[in-house]
């Protein structure tokens, strides 16, 4: 990427009874006593680009209407095969519906395809040789006169099947001026298949556009490609409570941030809107998170439901760090996965804590003790959290 400072270039070949939250009075009492402090667990400001901190002002909005252009580009040595119409039909509804659901209706993606193949001036082999330098500029120049880019926050660039399982997102410090617009983010995605798994890769890459980092590392790739967050690239899944909080889809009142002592409260399933969604505890340069996940909606493919216990490391989630060298979110698993279901369920599939015989009902990690007290019929859990 000569002449370009890209903070993230994410490249992945993805083969892969009524329970209520903490009452208003209880929350007020906790804050007054000093055991809860919402500001303490707020995402910290970090550098520009995808990371675990608060998004920089230059990043696309994460609430409201966000427009993305979709361009189909091919090459003389790799002509387009599937029709742009069929590709858009396979990917766009899946991606827009997924973000509508996971954001609790707060983010509305509007994707506008230019439904024809745009032939770029160089061969695919030539672009590969120098990191696709100049390819984005050539693609937008081909439609600049017919497409008003002023309302777009990002661009999807779809390549033909011959490009292989390529998925890459660029978030650039220096915006590219296109028809009066300043485009900082674009995604390269090869249409090597039209199935749900490939559409899910576009969901993952869109996460980078919105400011989320990869959750897998090159040195320990297999173990970190789980199904608890789509940024782990382990298959169809939802998002951690931390990511929903970072993107503004969980209100401060839905997250109980503890500073000390012990609190008992009820957490509702993250996949459904409303209620208290997470307990967070500030832990050094990060935050410990307790949330409830159930096999519904975007998480219907997970093999085991229950209470998830994890820690976010802000330094490892700093966008200035090299890609793939550090994993910003670690899970304290209830039990190790078994080989029998590993292929179907993915790594760390037995991570949730449940109230079942001969299974652990809690743990102490990261200076925080979690104990499950009761499981409700609606999927919520009553938990006790103690800061050690």
Domain boundary, last residue among 183, 210, 237: 210
Angstrom CA distances, 231 to 45, 166, 280, 381, stand at 20, 16, 20, 25
pLDDT grade, residue 321 (50/70/90)? low
In a domain, 59, yes or no: no
pLDDT at position 220, please?
Answer: 58
Q: Which residue has the higher pLDDT, 18 or 306?
A: 306
0.85 surpassed by pTM: yes
DSSP assignment string, 126-184:
HHHHTTTTTHHHHHHHHHTTTS-GGGEEEEEEEEPGGG-S-EEEEEEEEEEEETTEEEE
**For residue 151, what are the domain limits?**
64-210
- In total, how many domains does the chain have? 2
pLDDT digits (tens, 9 = 90+) for 98-155: 999 999 999 999 999 999 999 999 999 999 999 999 999 999 999 998 999 989 999 9
Give residue 49's pLDDT.
Answer: 85
Looking up residue 74, the CATH number of its domain turns out to be 3.40.50
Instruction: Answer whether residue 5 is part of any domain.
Output: no
pLDDT score recorded for residue 45: 85
- 19 close to 28: Cβ distance less than 8 angstroms: no
Q: Would you call 220 helix, strand, or coil by DSSP? A: helix
Both 128 and 163 in one domain: the answer is: yes
Q: Give the lowest-confidence range in 10-14, 197-201, 231-235, 261-265.
A: 10-14
Residue 121 lies in a domain: yes
| pLDDT at 78 > cutoff 80 | yes
pLDDT band at 20 (very low <50, low <70, confident <90, very high): very low
- Whether residues 224 and 311 share a domain: the answer is yes
What are the b/e assignments for 242-265, b being 16+ CB within 10 Å?
bbbbbbbbbeeebbbbbbeeebeb
Three-class DSSP category at 375: strand
Distance CA 240, CA 271 (A): 10
User: Do 227 and 335 reside in the same domain of the chain?
Assistant: yes
């Amino acid at each position: 990427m000569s002449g370009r400072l890209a903070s993230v270039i994410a490249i992945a070949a993805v083969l892969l009874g009524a329970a209520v939250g903490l009452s208003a009075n209880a929350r007020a009492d906790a804050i007054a006593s000093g055991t809860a402090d919402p500001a303490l667990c707020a995402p910290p400001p970090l550098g520009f680009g995808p990371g675990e901190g608060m998004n920089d002002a230059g990043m696309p909005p994460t609430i409201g209407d966000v427009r993305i252009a979709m361009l189909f580009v091919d090459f003389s040595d790799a002509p387009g095969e599937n029709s742009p119409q069929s590709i858009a039909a396979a990917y766009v509804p899946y991606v827009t519906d997924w973000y509508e659901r996971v954001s609790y209706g707060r983010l509305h993606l509007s994707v506008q395809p230019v439904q024809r193949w745009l032939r770029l001036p160089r061969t695919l082999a030539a672009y590969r040789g120098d990191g696709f330098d100049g390819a984005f500029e050539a693609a937008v120049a081909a439609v600049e006169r017919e497409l008003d880019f002023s309302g777009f926050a990002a661009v999807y660039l779809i390549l033909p099947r011959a490009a292989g399982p390529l998925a890459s997102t660029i978030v650039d410090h220096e915006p590219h001026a296109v028809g009066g617009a300043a485009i900082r983010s674009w995604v390269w995605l090869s249409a090597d298949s039209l199935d749900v798994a490939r559409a899910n890769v576009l969901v993952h890459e869109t996460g980078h556009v919105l400011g989320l980092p990869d959750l897998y590392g090159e040195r320990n790739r297999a173990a970190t490609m789980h199904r608890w967050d789509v940024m782990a690239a382990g298959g169809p899944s939802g998002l951690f409570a931390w990511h929903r909080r970072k993107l503004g889809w969980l209100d401060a009142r839905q997250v109980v941030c503890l500073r000390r002592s012990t609190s008992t409260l009820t957490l509702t399933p993250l996949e459904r809107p409303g209620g208290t969604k997470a307990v967070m505890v500030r832990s050094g340069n990060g935050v410990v998170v307790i949330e409830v996940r159930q096999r519904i909606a975007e998480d219907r493919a997970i093999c085991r439901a229950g209470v998830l216990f994890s820690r976010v490391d802000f330094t490892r989630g700093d966008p200035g760090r090299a890609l793939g060298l550090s994993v910003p979110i670690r899970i304290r698993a209830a039990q190790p996965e078994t080989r029998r279901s590993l292929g179907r369920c993915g790594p760390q599939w037995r991570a949730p804590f449940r109230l079942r015989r001969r299974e652990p009902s809690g743990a102490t990690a990261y200076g925080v003790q979690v104990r499950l007290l009761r499981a409700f019929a609606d999927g919520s859990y009553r938990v006790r959290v103690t800061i050690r």
